[in-house]
Amino acid sequence: MKHTILLITVLLLFPVAALAAIGSISKESGATYFKAKAEKKWAVASVGMDINEGDRVKTGSDGRMELLLQDGSRLTVGNNTEMEITRFLLDKDRRSATFFLQGKLRAIIAKFSGKTSMQVKTPTAVAGVKGTDFIVMNEGKANVLFGQEGTVDVKGKDKESVALMPNTMTENTQGHAPISPVKVEPNTPLADARKQLEAVTNVESPVEWQATGNLPVILARWNINYGHYLADSGRYKEALEVFQIAVDLTDVAEIGAEGRAQRGSVFSRNLSLPQEALKEYQSILDKYFQMPQAESALFSMGMIYKDIGEKEKAKEYLQKYLKQYPQGKHTSTVETLVKELEKEEGKQ
């Protein structure tokens, strides 16, 4: 009898609505997994599973999963993704939620008449939403977001925000604010990337998985081209950010070396920041020494040290150039410069 009285008391203190699940798995395909907050091991996910605050979902290389929440919002998790429902609160005049994402997600957030504070967080960005539709891809340090409907407030960690509108894209990487949104024009690499992300975040859509795996590379190459445009337009700060995003989106050496080379060029030629340029070029020599950009990086370092009056350093790097690239495109220029530096040493 005492246990019965205690149970009734608990139910009076905590209404049934508060104990209800915040949502459920409404669709899934491929490799999908679920882990309740109190559990240590992952279980295979299935349609109808309840979702509660603190639970996690995960997908494999061909996995997709749709979550239907209490408020009518739908979250579709793409492949190779892990997401935690960090927080979710819903009552008649207030809605609050936080979802922590590593991977790909389409969020279709239901409209709500009360006060709303809903966020999708990645390790390096925050998207604040009310009633809207958007896609986010987190790849390492970098984030790419496409606006589908409504407006999304996007910011980096403790940085200023931008408003992501329909048919636009913004992106950022660690330590950088999101770039000014770019319109997604038809028949462009951005439009192709968005189409692939729409498919991979739709459980019922056919997907070319191999093409989807190339998404980071496609977007990184777009960033290299867009960075050139920004630099040519005199928007040097934005160009630096876009080149960095390209580097952070993929481990492809060709893109990493090109991104670092372009950042070095902007720092040295456009912003007169030789020390920052030297860091970029040194990164190429350290990490991408087998790439074609290494030759120009070594030459540029010698020239920068010469220009800032560090003649010993200049001679060191120019001699390294002659040793590594005896038939290089800058060989004759470097030979002349080394002779001039040696003459100056002889006069001292």
Predicted confidence (pLDDT) per residue in 44-74, tens digit: 999 999 999 999 999 999 999 999 999 999 9
The count of structural domains within the chain is 1
Closest CA to 138 of 92, 160, 112, 107: 107
In a domain, 64, yes or no: yes
How crowded is residue 9: how many other Cβ atoms within 10 Å of its Cβ? 10
- Beta-strand pair 115-122/94-102: parallel
**What integer pLDDT is reported at residue 230 of this predicted model?**
98
Give me the residues paired with residue 65 across strands.
Answer: 28, 77
Give the least confident one: 127-131, 171-175, 247-251, 335-339: 127-131
The DSSP element (H or E) to which 20 belongs, if any, is: none
**What six digits make up the tokens of 96?**
């609050």
Please check the confidence at residue 13 and state whether its pLDDT lies above 80.
Answer: no
In a domain, 211, yes or no: no
Tens of pLDDT, residue by residue over 213-234, are 899 999 999 999 999 999 999 9
- Can you give the residue range of the structural domain that contains 151? 17-202
Choose between 12 and 178: higher pLDDT.
178
Q: What 3-state class would DSSP assign to 204?
A: coil
In a domain, 218, yes or no: no
**What integer pLDDT is reported at residue 8 of this predicted model?**
35
**What six digits make up the tokens of 87?**
């927080």
Domain CATH number, residue 28: 2.60.120.1440
Closest CA to 295 of 252, 267, 331: 331
Q: Is the dihedral of CA 331, 232, 167, 180 positive or negative?
A: positive
Please answer whether residues 110 and 95 qualify as being in contact, where contact means their C-beta atoms are separated by less than 8 angstroms. no
**What integer pLDDT is reported at residue 20 of this predicted model?**
74
48: left (phi over 0), alpha (psi -120 to 50) or beta: left
**What integer pLDDT is reported at residue 285 of this predicted model?**
97
**What integer pLDDT is reported at residue 249 of this predicted model?**
96
**What integer pLDDT is reported at residue 342 of this predicted model?**
85
**What integer pLDDT is reported at residue 211 of this predicted model?**
83
In a domain, 327, yes or no: no
Please answer whether residues 121 and 102 qualify as being in contact, where contact means their C-beta atoms are separated by less than 8 angstroms. no
In a domain, 36, yes or no: yes
Packed helices 253-265 and 293-307: angle between N→C axes, nearest 10 degrees? 20
In a domain, 342, yes or no: no
**What six digits make up the tokens of 336?**
């002349």
In a domain, 310, yes or no: no
Across the range 245-267, mean pLDDT stands at 97
- Mean of per-residue pLDDT scores for the chain: 91
Please answer whether residues 182 and 226 qualify as being in contact, where contact means their C-beta atoms are separated by less than 8 angstroms. yes
**What integer pLDDT is reported at residue 348 of this predicted model?**
61
In a domain, 220, yes or no: no
